[in-house]
Chains A and B, each alone.
Chain A
Amino acid sequence: MNAAVGAIGVLDLQGGVQEHLDHLQRIGVVGRPVKRAAELADLAGLIIPGGESTCLSRLLAIFGLDDAIRQAYDNGLKLWGTCAGAILLARENIGETPFLGLMDIAISRNAFGSQLDSFSGEALAPAVACQPIPLTFIRAPKITRIGDSVRVLLQVDDYVAAAEDDQILVTVFHPELTPSLAFHRYFARKCGLKVAAADDAALDPDWTPQSWTRFSYHV
């Protein structure tokens, strides 16, 4: 049984991999980097991290990981795409060819402008936590349309920033770049994992902006 194994994979081709591994460890879930199709076996869920979506799509296609992810999805694997990951999961990618196309949303990539338009703030996503949580948007996309099967988790101005259907979660922002563990807990529960009871809105006091380096090369 997937849930019995209880690991959540993080697609480890390019981008914010270590940041997600750090957050998964903080909520007591085993995180596993995934580079090869065989590593998808026995996962309860898979996170497709932020990075560059064109780069990720090329790398997914080269060694057949895209088909392996589609097959694992058909077999019930839960998926969470953050930023570039959300772009890869969208059925409609405005101005570009959709890639995995597994979720009925339209997404517009790099919808805010250049790095000078990247920003952070906070907002309330009631289904995820009862208090506002910090949000970090880096050259972020916007979800501009959602299908009937999709529920909005966070609406900001004219766009959807977080949404889910029965099997997929997408966020255009980066919870893994903040001290908030709320979305990681939310996804772990969606994957059928038991995570320690905690105030989901509480920030992890031990997290720092350098916490990801624990999972990177160090001497």
Chain B
Amino acid sequence: MAENRYLLNAQLAQMLKGGVIMDVVNVEQAQIAQEAGAVAVMALERVPADIRKQGGVARMSDPGLIKAIKAAVTIPVMAKARIGHFVEAQILQALKIDYIDESEVLTPADEECHIDKSRFEIPFVCGARNLGEAVRRIAEGAAMIRTKGEAGTGNVVEAVRHMRTMNREIRQLAMMPVEEIMSFAKLNGIPYELALEVKKLGRLPVVNFAAGGIATPADAALMMQLGCDGVFVGSGIFKSGDPARYARAIVKATAYHDDPAKLLEVSMDLGEPMPGLDVATMPGAERLAGRGW
């Protein structure tokens, strides 16, 4: 990928800042999301809550479905490829969607290597639990990062853990004398040059969204106040009692994340949120965030 193309791809993510990206499984949901003020939609066959319930191997969605969703909205369309499945990514690039999510929500196709994203023209977003993961994905060519959280649980605890971990590690780096950085980079699996850049900026050099378990307007605002640049909502909208209402409320809460009076207003009388799962009692094999290397 030319340097110029990478820059344009990182800059598209900049234009999504402060916004909400919503998972949708059909044209009707995509239109509801756009109408509610989503900045992009993630087109997929099943939301993470259903992937979790149904088990089996989760793959890239049928391109026919993604194409129909792309035709139905004017906002950017994203879709997921399996970790390491560079051919699914080639197919999504040929489909000319706007962003690929190399996602742990799908069953990994490669348990050692992620996609070499620098070989693609199309932008990628990748999940991360900590600074090392985030920076390795950036080194591979990701133009945008998101927390992994724990998708499909309606439980924000893992997204909070991942954002706090990233912030803590960035803070350590920012305070560190230069001679300690090589060792820190080695311990955390961070490319040295990027460690220096993160130290200088005091944050990731690309846009960083929250994802994985965000189910309410308050969850979205919590992640924004923790320093995320925007929010992905997977199952949280279309598994709630009133999706259009939840969608609008989460959009408003993300924009006004620092205004408790407005958060109160948008949180009132929303009806049932999506059902939640306790992550602490979940067996390791059911945790999606551990996928990725």
Contacts and interface: CB of A to CB of B under 8 A. Distances in A.
Interface of A: 12-19, 35, 50-52, 54-55, 57-59, 62-63, 83-84, 96, 109-110, 113-116, 118-120, 136, 138-139, 174, 177, 209-210, 212-213, 216-219
B96 A114 contact: yes
Interface of B: 4, 7-12, 14-20, 34-40, 70, 74-76, 93, 96-99, 121-123, 167, 170-171, 174, 197, 201-203, 205, 227-229, 248, 251-252, 254-256, 259, 262
Contacts of A16: 14-15, 17
Nearest to B170: A219
A114 to B, nearest CB: 4
A115 B76 contact: yes
Contact of A120 (B8, B96, B170): B8
A16 B17 CA distance: 7
Contacts of B123: 115
A97 to B, nearest CB: 12
A17 B11 CA distance: 12
Contact of A55 (B4, B39, B229): B39
Given A13-B18, A210-B201, A219 B174 contact: yes
A15 B15 contact: yes
B227 A115 contact: no
A209 B227 CA distance: 20
A219 B202 contact: yes
Given A120-B7, A139-B76, 7 more contacts: A14-B17, A18-B17, A52-B37, A116-B96, A138-B11, A139-B15, A217-B228
Interface of chain A, helix or strand or loop or mixed? loop
A174 B8 CA distance: 11
A114 B76 CA distance: 8
Q: Which of A12, A15, A84, A96 has the most C-beta atoms of chain B within 10 angstroms of its own C-beta?
A: A15
Contact of B18 (A14, A57, A58, A177): A14
A213 B8 contact: no
B201 A174 contact: no
B99 A209 contact: no
Contacts of A19: 14
A213 B197 CA distance: 12
B7 A51 contact: no
12 contacts: A14-B39, A35-B259, A52-B19, A52-B38, A58-B251, A96-B74, A119-B8, A138-B8, A209-B10, A218-B203, A219-B171, A219-B202
A177 B14 contact: yes
B15 A52 contact: yes
Contacts of A15: 15-19
